[in-house]
Structure 1
Amino acid sequence: MCGIFAYLNYNVARERRYILEVLFNGLRRLEYRGYDSSGVAIDSDPAPLKGGSADVVLDEDAATSRPPYNSPPPLMFRQAGKIESLVGSVYTEVDAMDLNLEESFFVHAGIAHTRWATHGVPAPRNSHPQTSGEYNEFLVVHNGIITNYEVLKETLIRHGFIFESDTDTEVIPKLAKFVFDKAHDGDGDQMVTFSQVVIEVIRQLEGAYALIFKSPHYPNELIACKRGSTLLLGDVNEDAKNYTPFHDATSLAENRKPKELFFSSDLCAIVEHTKKYLAIEDDEVVHIKDGSVSILKFDYGKEKPASVQRALSFLEMEVEQIKKGNYDHFMQKEIHEQPHSLTTTMRGRLKDKSVILGGLKDHLKTIRHSRRVVFIGCGTSYNAALAARPFLEELSGIPVTMEIASDLLDREGPIYREDTAVFVSQSGETADTLLALDYALENGALCVGITNTVGSALARKTHCGVHINAGCEIGVASTKAYTSQIVVMTMMALAIGDDRISNQARRESIIDGLYKLPSVVGEVLKLDGQINDLAKSLIDAQSLLVFGRGYNYATALEGALKVKEVALMHSEGMLAGEMKHGPLALVDETLPIIVIATRDSCFSKQQSVIQQLRARKGRLVVMCSEGDASLVCPGGSCRVIEVPQVADCLQPVINIIPLQLLAYHLTVLRGFDVDQPRNLAKSVTTL
């Protein structure tokens, strides 16, 4: 999804070249979210114009006009395509205008953006920042969708505004100019504050958004606000090296002290600058002026917003996590990091033969008395919940139902006060999942969050939850977060079922398996070369089917999804029990079919499936437990992938890894971008 990055230095001398590079590098850190164009806005001169006039103009037609403020117009650069295209075009334009890149600014506010096209094709005019018009009186970068933009646009056109883009975003800066001009009509000395302008603008907006405003009417100031979409504030001041877990809110209000401040859609873009950050809440308006950060809480029912104080949090992330290291791609790195991510997911949560989940302990009794547990998620997170469902039902005795978030909302499916609704999201910002969360809260259910992102909307809105702790995941296709989600939900099942003596032996055997799981995953990763050879044999295939059942129905869905996402190859995960109800018609000697047949209660049924596929000359690849090759494919009649056997409820963690590797190698061999698949974004924050 779109990425926002902004940088403000106060009483810290920074050259224009440095400022540009900070902005460009911030955008590079956001590339993984998916985008098709980008842009930046910086100041053209560090000092106000003398006499309130200037020769600096936006185009030749305006050569005799003056900007309506006492400084040169901000410079805006926009480009479709990759960020490096933007970087090249900026330096070309800078050379053409003979702009001094070594010029120093003691105070400067710059904004930047990566856009994922929703309204209008990828093109410079549709890229952000979007402008209020001539002289760039108001500039805005935006993540989200404004649902009432057409009505606003019609109103602004009637007031003489001319629109140049196809975006929904353009109404925002133009609305800001309309509000500003209206406030100054008839009284040239009247001055409306920047925050007053922005608050009046957001009062008119409907939809989801994260916004940054920049204006030469308010030089060296930035305003950020959000509703739905993620936005973070990072803080660097003279005490930046003296980190403590939390920082007094008054430190944000200190002015005149040297500091550097960052806004970002993602912690990955600020971790190399600071570990102190603030997750901006919905309807908060964050105003940076004179080195001071003030926060106002907007309320539709009140004319004036209330001032609030927030404390900074400490970022538990290292710079190394956002770098590829010795790997060729982030997806490859993250697949191979899974022994470590599983270890950190379980660290401190397994003690001897028990499970300790601090985020759930006060709500376990309520969960145990639920009429049902409802797992709610999208995509990979839904598949992870599906993998955990059988074990939770077994240990708790509570009925477990599955809901795709968007479908739950479309149907307005029943959610009751006696339900426990478990929301699963890697980013914690998935739009459909958050809307489903609001729906469940309105209906009185106990809401549990399972997410990889501390401070995310999901983490803040749910009653309780568990942090996955898989580490930063850069690749768009989720890998290590998926396996850690399964482990977290397995531990959740163990904690819920802790009061049932009849399950004690079963629980202890699973806990033993969890302790060993990271090392077993390390063994599976040694199949990398074998899976690469398999990928070479499938490179020209047009489609791929994956059959699974029981615990591994989710594995079939997730494996096919990975191939679909990154290798751009048609693939379908199917419930093997449904094979004779339609899918069998597709079987011939050319269509590759992967059958997951590791040892569990469904093993004999999967053997039968394999026999039927062989009888129809199916092109089979069978994943089986070590030592079972001759049982599943007698006489070497099909290709076999042997994996270590673990407890049945943990087997999906093992079985997905060869399919993740297959998707990765297929993508590389087919020449596609592994980390930024076509048309996809890391965090789907718009509907």
Structure 2
Amino acid sequence: MCGIVGYVGMRKAAPILLNGLKRLEYRGYDSAGLVTVAKSGSRRYRVVGRVQNLDKLVKGLDLPMTCGIAHTRWATHGKPNETNAHPHTDETQQFYVVHNGIIENHEKLRAGLEADGAHFHTETDTEVIVQLIAKFFDGSLEAAVEEALKHLEGTFGIAAVSAADPMKIVVARRGSPVIIGIGKDEMFVASDVSAIVQYTDQVIYMEDNELAVLTPGDYQMMSFDHKPIQRETFQIDWKVEDEGLNGFPHFMLKEIYDQPETVRNACRGRMNVSEGVAVLGGLQSKMDEIKNLRKLIIVSCGTSYHAGLIGRYIFEALTDLNVEVELASEFRYRKLRLDETTGVLAISQSGETIDTLAAIREARRKGALTIGLVNVVGSTIARETDCGVYCHAGPEIGVASTKIFVSQLVILNLMALLIGRYQMVSLNEGVSLLKALNRLPDQVSDILARASQIDELARIYQKFDNNLFIGRQTHAAVAMEGALKLKEISYIHAEAYAAGEMKHGPISLIDENFPTIALLANDASYDKMLSNIQEIRARSGPVLAITYEGDDQCARHCDDLFRVPQTHDLLQPILTTIPLQLFAYYCARYRGTEIDKPRNLAKSVTVE
């Protein structure tokens, strides 16, 4: 989950590295550091905390070197301090490495290197990499890195430089993302395209067990056994201005307000309303296989897992598929029967989530058709699945996912409709859903126009240290997402339950200091939800209800209320989600927390 950026070319490296780190800070912010190298020597700077601390440290310094690497850390081995901050170096201070991942055999390697006379200065697993490179260096940095890699077990994305072999960056990948950026007489490396999109829109996504040597204006790629590799170049489909705050105080709020356009982008060119069908080009090559599926397993983590839970209801409503949803981190440990009639749908914002990636690799090994739903073009999951669909939502910088969740729900409806029109969905049903999708952006805008009401509710409820979220059917998963958002950014404890579970334990927590956020839908579960609310009120529990326009009963049974527009049943979770996102945001703002960079969290989970 750490962030890596590197540059070699004709320009001064330090400003480019610092700018890249600022754009990568959502990947980790325990500490940060950079090193620039030249024949005359190297200059390394490291700090604890945010990238702004590093920026202050090097401000005004003369750093003319045109080659360097940098890192922002999310700690795995070793406490966040300056000593453990990357880049790491060897005893001679000629070799430097930045690393994302976990070296599983680092203790054994450390013991062997110490026996050979090496002196270690950090608690990190990364230091063994640079010590190995120094040990094996014999005039060629790439040869030393290549030899060092033979000894490493675990996952890594690394970049290495040396004053002994300057104007060269050697990068390698196994399990952690590494992206090469191609410029004119300059080359870039990063763990995320956001770090380099200001400088180039031409990138290469490295795959596992690959190594590359970057020099100004050129690169060479090879496998770990030294076989040359030619890799496709991708064009980044968004611009640096997409990452700006545009006047918003936080990226999270900006991205919540992006959602009308997010919905439009998810639907654009993908709906034939008159025929009631979805048009998803990314699935077309495998449609014969998709039409013959009997079972669909959705694998995902975090917010994407909640999207998958809602997706189960969507696919069950529109298709004949038997649908299961699995946490990707647990999928590998189940004894599942998979064959060519099983599809495994992997949902991931980044397309690099390590557990989700491992799940699809296991599924492919066992013969299942793999489908991806990701936001990042060219990401590992996008490349390794048999087919898939992109969100096209643009970059999401806030650690707490908002617009990608909504985009995922829209596309899950389109995917299910595509299959369902071959099975059980009538023309009229298809047309009805697509027309409702066309209305959705304006309905999201309607909710955002009333954000001040949510702000006022958050001012009242942020004083509580514990919250309960409840819902039924699709709204049980929406409750889980609402609770997660509140926990992530405000640090308020929140639990989510399917409302039918209230009497099986959670109701014992209810008192005047334990509020409930109750989610009501205009469906068969409505009366039961009202009964749940009445049970909570009977025990003095405050209730904030999120319900639909036209609901006149609920107001008599709750303390506070917010209504969302009515829409198609399968789209209602999208509209219910928007006020929960705003509620979490405003609670966090009143509590003064770091909204875009919540403690202990990073945007992309690329290590196990």
Asked if the contact 1:234/1:276 (under 8 Å) is kept, the reply is yes
From 532, 539, 553, give the equivalent of 1:631: 553
Q: Which residue of 1 aligns with 2:313?
A: 390
SS at match of 2:464: coil
Taking a change above 3 Å as real, the CA distance of residues 311 and 399 of structure 1, as seen in their structure-2 partners, is closer
From 213, 225, 247, give the equivalent of 1:287: 213
Q: Does 1:149 align with 2:106?
A: yes
SS at match of 1:139: strand
Q: Which residue of 1 aligns with 2:13?
A: 19
The number of equivalent residue pairs is: 606
From 200, 210, 219, give the equivalent of 2:147: 200
Q: Does 1:120 align with 2:41?
A: no
Q: Distance in 1 between matches of 2:147 and 2:2?
A: 24
The farther-off stretch of 227-236 and 455-464 is 227-236
| Aligned-pair Cα RMSD in Å | 1.5
Deviation per residue, 1:294-331 (Å, 9 max, x gap): 111224xxxxx111223422111111111111100000
Q: Distance in 2 between matches of 1:651 and 1:270?
A: 38
Q: Which residue of 2 aligns with 1:211?
A: 158
From 487, 498, 503, give the equivalent of 2:410: 487
Q: Which residue of 1 aligns with 2:571?
A: 650
Amino acid at match of 1:210: G
SS at match of 2:371: strand
Deviation at 1:458, TM superposition (A): 0.4
Asked if the contact 2:303/2:481 (under 8 Å) is kept, the reply is yes
Asked if the contact 1:551/1:648 (under 8 Å) is kept, the reply is no
From 62, 72, 75, give the equivalent of 2:40: 72
Q: Does 1:364 align with 2:287?
A: yes
Amino acid at match of 1:230: P
Q: Distance in 1 between matches of 2:385 and 2:210?
A: 19
SS at match of 1:552: helix
Q: Distance in 1 between matches of 2:340 and 2:113?
A: 45
Asked if the contact 1:388/1:649 (under 8 Å) is kept, the reply is no
Deviation at 1:289, TM superposition (A): 3.3
Q: Distance in 2 between matches of 1:423 and 1:456?
A: 13
- Unpaired runs of at least 5, structure 2: none
Q: Distance in 2 between matches of 1:33 and 1:278?
A: 20
Alignment of 1:343-382 (within 5 A): 343-352=264-273, 353-382=276-305
Deviation at 1:488, TM superposition (A): 0.6
From 83, 92, 102, give the equivalent of 2:51: 83
Q: Distance in 1 between matches of 2:424 and 2:116?
A: 73
From 22, 25, 28, give the equivalent of 1:28: 22
Amino acid at match of 1:124: E
Q: Which residue of 1 aligns with 2:6?
A: 6
Deviation per residue, 1:547-579 (Å, 9 max, x gap): 011121111000000001011110011101111
Q: Distance in 1 between matches of 2:183 and 2:573?
A: 43
Q: Does 1:560 align with 2:517?
A: no
Q: Which residue of 2 aligns with 1:241?
A: none
Taking a change above 3 Å as real, the CA distance of residues 289 and 236 of structure 1, as seen in their structure-2 partners, is closer
Q: Distance in 1 between matches of 2:122 and 2:335?
A: 36
The farther-off stretch of 482-491 and 406-415 is 406-415
Deviation per residue, 1:195-241 (Å, 9 max, x gap): 2211111111111111101012211111111111111111221xxxx
SS at match of 1:152: helix
Q: Distance in 2 between matches of 1:502 and 1:28?
A: 48
Q: Distance in 1 between matches of 2:415 and 2:558?
A: 41
Asked if the contact 1:527/1:658 (under 8 Å) is kept, the reply is no
From 426, 429, 433, give the equivalent of 1:506: 429
Asked if the contact 2:544/2:558 (under 8 Å) is kept, the reply is no
Q: Does 1:468 align with 2:436?
A: no
Deviation per residue, 1:105-155 (Å, 9 max, x gap): 6xx211110011110111111010111222x22110001111111111111
Asked if the contact 2:282/2:388 (under 8 Å) is kept, the reply is yes
Deviation at 1:412, TM superposition (A): 4.7
TM-score w.r.t. the length of structure 1 is 0.86
From 114, 120, 134, give the equivalent of 1:177: 134
Larger Rg: 1
Q: Which residue of 1 aligns with 2:263?
A: 342
Asked if the contact 2:471/2:498 (under 8 Å) is kept, the reply is yes
Q: Distance in 2 between matches of 1:415 and 1:170?
A: 41
Deviation at 1:272, TM superposition (A): 1.1
The farther-off stretch of 206-215 and 311-320 is 311-320
Q: Which residue of 1 aligns with 2:444?
A: 521
SS at match of 2:17: helix
Q: Which residue of 2 aligns with 1:158?
A: 115
The farther-off stretch of 649-658 and 411-420 is 411-420
The farther-off stretch of 261-270 and 609-618 is 609-618
Q: Distance in 2 between matches of 1:152 and 1:288?
A: 27
Q: Distance in 1 between matches of 2:216 and 2:435?
A: 57
TM-score w.r.t. the length of structure 2 is 0.97
Q: Does 1:167 align with 2:124?
A: yes
Q: Which residue of 2 aligns with 1:325?
A: 246
From 407, 410, 434, give the equivalent of 2:333: 410
Q: Distance in 2 between matches of 1:501 and 1:145?
A: 47
Q: Which residue of 2 aligns with 1:614?
A: 537
Q: Distance in 1 between matches of 2:535 and 2:498?
A: 15
From 441, 454, 457, give the equivalent of 2:380: 457
Amino acid at match of 2:18: F
Asked if the contact 2:257/2:448 (under 8 Å) is kept, the reply is yes
Amino acid at match of 2:115: R
Q: Distance in 1 between matches of 2:520 and 2:228?
A: 60
